[in-house]
Amino acid sequence: MRYFDYTATTPIDKEVLETYIKVQDSYFANTSSLHSLGQKSNALFEQASAEIKDLFGLKQHNIVYTSNATEANNLAIYGIVEKHIRGKLITTKIEHPSVFEVFKNLERKGYDVVYLDVDEKGIIDIKQLQREIDKNTILVSIMWVNNIVGSIQPIKEIIKIVSGYPKTKLHVDAVQGIGKINPDFNFKDIDLFTISAHKIYGPKGIGALIYNQNIDLYKRLYGSSAQYGVKPGTIDLALVVSLCKALKKYLPLTEEHYQYVLSLNRRFRSKLENQEGIIFNSCLEASPYIINLSLPHINGETIVHILEEKEIYLSTGSACSSKLKKPEKTIYNMTKSELLATTTIRIGLSHLLSQTDIDDLAQEIGEIANV
């Protein structure tokens, strides 16, 4: 079995799993309970949260733990926007569905939403952002690393632009960048950002919304004051500590893993970039962890199933929308080609892969392209 869908999810790291089991067994008491067992659990919760903040260089931010990044993105966007009856919102045409569909819903509710264009590399036009942002802009939401092609947005420049409008908040979906790309910006300069554990060898079932403590988010859920009232309810301490464990293990390894995966990416490209019938949609400057390509003469879903029969597993695009059977919107907005957008496959790389894995995958895709 050869797995190339690490962009969709990663296997849980053994040390992280051991941490999860230990905490679930030894710290089962509710973190809100007043008795000593509850206070013991709460102390571990506070320690894990403090360590996560330290990893990101944060002192003025709150953390709200969620079930996943989709929930975190929803809480972030609605938390800002629903405190305003009307206003202008800015996002891009290639956001993850958990962001893009939220803005579509807000647009239906009467908010003025601007969807920034992207070029053939999947990068926004900074000048368009400068033209569109104004004093009535409530929120700008732009992902750091695209989940389909790996394009890396100029977050540092975006922060600088948004900072010129004190009433405008910046939200960044950082899921595909954390533990994979070293940022050229400071997380403390972002108003709200979202992460997910299962993209960095942590458990499924936990993400986080991390936001500046000066922001008063609109409350959509009621029941307790836990997690600043943003997501009330009992906290799964084992998941929180496991997220912390994954971050502590993999953030320091970001550069080492980046360089290795970059070498795998280049090796794969070198074997197929000149082959007829294969078009690379991911540019060289994109995250090396994501390779998106199209075989224009064959449907992407068909390729996935052909490879599956050989126990090679990859995807056509976002796992959150893979069953919709529509042209992939990121590819379409980059290429303006419905053909390329319906014949795309996404390869998610990892430091766990070997050169032999890469060679075998390239050979199999090359043979499909020659059919």
**pLDDT-based confidence at 318, cuts 50/70/90?**
low
Please tell me what DSSP assigns to residue 220: -
Provide the phi-psi class of 258: left if phi over 0, else alpha when psi is between -120 and 50, else beta. Answer: alpha
Higher pLDDT, 344 or 32: 344
pLDDT above 80 (res 332) = yes
The model's pTM is 0.94
Q: Which two tokens stand for residue 214?
A: 């000066």
d(CA 25, CA 23): 5
Q: Are strands 207-212 and 61-66 parallel, antiparallel or unpaired?
A: antiparallel
pLDDT above 60 (res 278) = yes
Question: Residue 229: its pLDDT value, please?
Answer: 72
Q: Which two tokens stand for residue 349?
A: 């790389």
d(CA 46, CA 345): 42
pLDDT above 70 (res 275) = yes
The pLDDT tens digits of the residues spanning 15-68 come to 999 999 999 999 998 888 899 988 999 999 999 999 999 999 999 999 999 999
Domain ranges of the chain: 2-9+252-369, 14-251
Please tell me what DSSP assigns to residue 60: S
Buried b (16+ CB within 10 A) or exposed e, 139-151: bbbbbbbbbbbbb
What residues contact 260, with CB distance under 8 A and at least 6 apart? 351
Decide which of 3.40.50.1000, 3.90.1150.10, 3.90.1300.10, 3.40.50.10420 is the CATH code for 2-9+252-369: 3.90.1150.10
Average pLDDT, rounded, for the chain = 94
The pLDDT tens digits of the residues spanning 127-150 come to 999 999 999 999 999 999 999 999
At the topology level, CATH places domain 14-251 in Aspartate Aminotransferase; domain 2 (3.40.640)
- Enumerate the active-site residues: 320
Cβ atoms within 10 Å, residue 39: 14
- DSSP string covering 274-327: TSTT-EE-S-TTS-TTEEEEE-TTS-HHHHHHHHHTTTEE-BSS-TTTTTS---
Question: Residue 292: its pLDDT value, please?
Answer: 98
